[in-house]
């Protein structure tokens, strides 16, 4: 039978009510919508976790010396200059950005509106290349003495946003609002009193928010930090800038040979393994839903074959071959699958976006950095639609084969 005639016949009147057909497609729509929504959310959560825990720049790899635990003591090694030089020489490494901490206590003092607050912080120094991609527009991290350029960790801004903006009538804190604001650091002083040695005051200007710097406090240029350290600074970590994110596993293997570790990679693996497990559970759940929908479709189409036996016998008498009737019911199953899958796609995308926004607002992702918790993968989403249609075709096969094997003489005799 010609395809357009097959389609017209499949779309033609059937003895079941249109609502019956819709019910069959609804099950498929529900299953596909659930799969699309849950997988989109899983991907979004994975992305958010990676971004918040590992940073937003995928071609960067943080490196630190492997640490050893001896009872309660943790023995820490340092990245000395020869090691830094070896890191720079690794194939696939474009640049190495050093990070070091000041071992003296530091207190940060700032005002925001009528609010003034202070906090003990860890002052870090870094090479400019570490923070350059995340500087506010028109700002520089190159050496400056008064005020000194400083970058705040993203998590610190989130804490400020959650702790100040939400509980006061001050505007929400966003990265662009912080750029250009000043704060003061008192080096050698803490909330518990002054440390040994003189207390030095350092005026800073915020030039950016970064997820590459240490979480304990602001980061200033490494050379400036050196002036405040009574001893030569020792680098506790470095960030490698890679030619390509794909080279990370190969470089990580070389790092292990050098007695170094990349904690972000381990974390990424743990996140990936966790999300893979979650995905497997979701896939099983979605497949179970789809299986129920397919069984309902099978039952519905079987009923149609029984109800339409006399019509099908007539079609056979008028010249339809068994293959024509097989195709007729497969087309019906495919159309129901397509209707269900496309409806499921639309509902899944809408529901996923809505649920993702809801969870993000509950999680308090922080102003200026909205969490995108629903991130459907186009390929996976198309795969689900195809899976829905394929499942319906499979569910429709047995009823279609039964229709194709009807004996016209027997049916017309009844």
Partner 1 sequence: MIQVRDLSLDYPSGPERIHALTGINLDIAPGECVVLLGPSGSGKTSLLNLLGGLERPSRGTLRVGGLDLVGASDHDLARYRNRRVGFVFQSFHLDGRRSALENVILPLYFGQASLTRGRERARALLQRVGMGELCHRPVQRLSGGQRQRVAVARALICQPELLLADEPVGHLDDATAESVTELLIELHREQGLTLVATAHDDRLLGHAGRVLELSAGRLMADRIAEAPSHHAP
**Three-state DSSP class for 315?**
helix
Say whether residue 3 binds partner 1 (CB under 8 A). no
Closer of 150 and 312 to partner 1 (Cβ)? 312
**Three-state DSSP class for 103?**
coil
| Segment lying near partner 1 (by CB under 8 A), choices 11-19, 160-168, 219-227, 340-348 | 11-19
Q: Cβ distance 112 to 119 under 8 Å?
A: no
Contacts (CB under 8 A) with partner 1, residues 388-407: 407
Say whether residue 12 binds partner 1 (CB under 8 A). yes
Closest contact distance (angstroms) between CB of 327 and partner 1 is 11
Distances (CA, A) of 348 to 205, 279, 341: 46, 16, 10
Select the residue interacting with partner 1 from 69, 74, 167, 413 (CB under 8 A). Answer: 413
DSSP letter at 56?
S
**Three-state DSSP class for 40?**
helix
DSSP letter at 364?
T
| Segment lying near partner 1 (by CB under 8 A), choices 7-15, 75-83, 110-118, 137-145 | 7-15
Closer of 385 and 406 to partner 1 (Cβ)? 406
Closer of 290 and 327 to partner 1 (Cβ)? 327
Closer of 167 and 413 to partner 1 (Cβ)? 413
Interhelix angle for 322-363 vs 263-307, to 10°? 140
Contacts (CB under 8 A) with partner 1, residues 266-325: 310-311, 313-324
Say whether residue 8 binds partner 1 (CB under 8 A). yes
Closest contact distance (angstroms) between CB of 296 and partner 1 is 24
For the beta carbon of residue 307, count every other beta carbon within 10 angstroms: 13
Say whether residue 60 binds partner 1 (CB under 8 A). no
261: exposed, middle or buried (C-beta count within 10 Å: 0-12, 13-18, 19+)?
middle
| Phi, psi at 130, each rounded to 5° | -65, -40
Q: Which residues pair with 153 in a beta bridge?
A: 210
Closest contact distance (angstroms) between CB of 333 and partner 1 is 19
Closer of 14 and 296 to partner 1 (Cβ)? 14
Residue 103 to residue 238: CA distance in whole angstroms: 17
For the beta carbon of residue 20, count every other beta carbon within 10 angstroms: 13
Closest contact distance (angstroms) between CB of 396 and partner 1 is 20
Say whether residue 412 binds partner 1 (CB under 8 A). yes
Closer of 124 and 308 to partner 1 (Cβ)? 308
Residue 357 to residue 333: CA distance in whole angstroms: 35
Closest contact distance (angstroms) between CB of 407 and partner 1 is 7
Closer of 284 and 317 to partner 1 (Cβ)? 317
Closer of 67 and 310 to partner 1 (Cβ)? 310
Select the residue interacting with partner 1 from 11, 15, 75, 199 (CB under 8 A). Answer: 15
Closest contact distance (angstroms) between CB of 6 and partner 1 is 8
Say whether residue 11 binds partner 1 (CB under 8 A). no
Residue 342 to residue 352: CA distance in whole angstroms: 15
Residue 51 to residue 342: CA distance in whole angstroms: 32
Say whether residue 90 binds partner 1 (CB under 8 A). no
* Contact pattern for partner 1 over residues 324 through 363, marking x by CB under 8 A: x---------------------------------------
Strands (E), 102-250: 106-112, 115-121, 124-126, 148-153, 182-187, 189-190, 193-194, 200-210, 219-221, 235-242
Select the residue interacting with partner 1 from 1, 155, 292, 359 (CB under 8 A). Answer: 1
Closer of 228 and 315 to partner 1 (Cβ)? 315
Strands (E), 243-312: 260-261
Please give the size of the binding site for partner 1, defined by CB under 8 A. Answer: 29
**Three-state DSSP class for 250?**
helix
Q: How far is CA 274 from the centre of its chain?
A: 13
Interface residues toward partner 1, by CB under 8 A: 1-2, 5, 8-9, 12-15, 310-311, 313-324, 407-410, 412-413
């Amino acid at each position: 039978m010609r395809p357009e005639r097959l389609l017209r016949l499949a779309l033609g009147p059937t003895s079941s009510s249109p609502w019956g057909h819709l019910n069959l497609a609804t099950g498929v729509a529900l299953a596909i919508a659930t799969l699309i929504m849950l997988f989109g959310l899983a991907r979004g959560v994975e992305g958010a976790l990676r971004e918040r825990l590992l940073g937003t720049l995928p071609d960067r790899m943080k490196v630190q010396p492997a640490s050893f635990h001896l009872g309660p003591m943790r023995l820490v090694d340092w990245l000395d200059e020869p090691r830094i030089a070896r890191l720079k020489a690794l194939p696939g490494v474009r640049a190495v950005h050093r990070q070091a901490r000041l071992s003296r206590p530091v207190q940060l003092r700032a005002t925001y509106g009528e609010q003034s607050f202070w906090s003990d912080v860890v002052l870090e120094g870094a090479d400019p290349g570490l923070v350059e991609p995340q500087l506010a527009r028109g700002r520089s991290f190159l050496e400056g003495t008064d005020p000194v350029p400083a970058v705040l960790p993203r998590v610190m801004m989130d804490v400020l946003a959650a702790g100040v903006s939400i509980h006061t009538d001050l505007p929400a804190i966003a990265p662009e609002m912080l750029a250009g604001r000043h704060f003061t650091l008192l080096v050698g002083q803490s909330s518990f009193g002054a440390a040994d040695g003189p207390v030095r005051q350092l005026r800073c200007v915020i030039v950016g928010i970064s997820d590459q710097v240490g979480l304990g406090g602001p980061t200033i240029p490494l050379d400036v930090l050196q002036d405040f350290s009574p001893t030569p600074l020792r680098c506790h970590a470095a960030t490698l800038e890679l030619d390509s994110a794909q080279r990370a596993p190969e470089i990580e293997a070389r790092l292990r040979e050098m007695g170094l570790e990349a904690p972000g990679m381990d974390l990424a693996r743990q996140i990936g393994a966790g999300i893979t497990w979650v995905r497997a559970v979701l896939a099983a759940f979605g497949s179970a839903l789809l299986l129920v929908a397919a069984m309902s479709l099978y039952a519905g189409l079987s009923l149609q074959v029984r109800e339409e036996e006399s019509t099908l016998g007539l079609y056979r008498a008028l010249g339809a071959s068994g293959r024509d009737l097989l195709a007729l019911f497969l087309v019906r199953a495919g159309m129901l699958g397509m209707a269900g899958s496309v409806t499921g796609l639309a509902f899944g995308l809408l529901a996923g976006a809505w649920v993702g926004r809801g969870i993000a607002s509950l999680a308090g992702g922080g102003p200026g950095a909205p969490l995108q918790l629903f991130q459907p993968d186009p390929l996976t989403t198309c795969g689900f639609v195809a899976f829905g249609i394929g499942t319906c075709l499979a569910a429709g096969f047995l009823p279609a084969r039964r229709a194709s094997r009807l004996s016209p003489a027997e049916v017309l005799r009844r």
